[in-house]
């Protein structure tokens, strides 16, 4: 797959690929054009099997216009190859005596009325992924799930329930493995919301952020803000 000249721009707000010599990793926000799917800044998707630009086609399943489904993915998320987001229509009606979707196939079964007899199951139940979330390879995320900021989802997990912030889960169905940090650190990170800061400020915090130094992050932030305030 070759990158077109107009597909890689110096402006990161519109740039498609993260790395100039690789077509496997894309800024997800810039390849998703669907009113029901919202993606934050710097979130990337890596696909080593298919064109990552076809994320909506290949990774958002059972997504039909008018069904009321929505997907929200935060900023600075890392999404591995083959992750699937399941929209609500994938569910069959538990109130029926049969799993077969007769109402959906009402053109054949003319005794049924589509609106009256076909249950859309969990219609309108969206999926929400927080910020700075790491989703491992071939994870399946079911309708109605919320994944908190800073969480991590293990490879090939099936996420059927909400995942708290800064929690690691894995398995089928996904279960709690551990918290990433102690409660005080988690509380401080959720209050900091570094992913909402201007890129200039994030750049100042990075030497401490990437080395797990919360105290250093807060010190750098205080120095940055003091210097900025001194200019006004």
H helix or E strand, kind and range, residue 229: helix 214-230
Helix-strand-coil split of the chain, %, nearest 5: 25, 20, 55
Residue 149 in tokens: 């900021």
Catalytic residue, from 63, 92, 122, 161: name it.
92
- In the structure, how many helices (H) and strands (E) does the chain have? 5, 15
Going by C-beta distance under 8 Å and a sequence separation of 6 or more, which residues neighbour residue 196?
75, 131
Spacing of C-alpha 211 from chain mean position: 24
SS3 call for 147: strand
- Answer yes or no: 46 catalytic: no
Strand segments (E) across the chain = 25-27, 37-39, 44-46, 60-61, 71-73, 78-79, 84-86, 127-129, 134-135, 140-141, 146-147, 152-153, 158-159, 167-170, 175-179
Which residue(s) pair with 39 in the sheet? 73
| Positions marked active-site | 92
């Amino acid at each position: 797959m070759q990158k077109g000249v107009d597909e890689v721009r110096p402006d990161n707000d519109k740039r498609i690929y993260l790395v100039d010599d690789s077509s496997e990793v894309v800024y997800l926000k810039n390849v998703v054009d669907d009113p029901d799917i919202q993606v934050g800044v710097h979130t990337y998707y890596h696909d080593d099997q298919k064109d990552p630009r076809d994320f909506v086609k290949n990774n958002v399943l059972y997504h039909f216009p008018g069904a009321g489904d929505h997907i929200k993915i935060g900023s600075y998320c890392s999404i591995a190859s083959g992750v699937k987001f399941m929209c609500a229509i994938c569910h069959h009606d538990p109130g029926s005596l049969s799993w077969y979707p007769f109402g959906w196939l009402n053109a054949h079964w003319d005794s049924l009325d589509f609106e009256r007899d076909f249950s859309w199951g969990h219609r309108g139940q969206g999926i929400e992924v927080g910020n700075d979330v790491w989703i491992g390879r071939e994870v399946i995320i079911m309708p109605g799930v919320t994944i908190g900021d800073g969480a991590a989802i293990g490879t090939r997990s099936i996420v059927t329930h909400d995942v708290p912030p800064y929690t690691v889960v894995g398995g089928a169905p996904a279960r709690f493995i551990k918290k990433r940090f102690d409660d005080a650190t988690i509380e401080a990170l959720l209050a900091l919301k570094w992913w909402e800061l201007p890129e200039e400020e994030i750049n100042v915090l990075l030497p401490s952020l990437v080395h797990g130094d919360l105290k250093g992050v807060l010190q750098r932030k205080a120095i940055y803000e003091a210097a900025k305030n001194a200019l006004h």
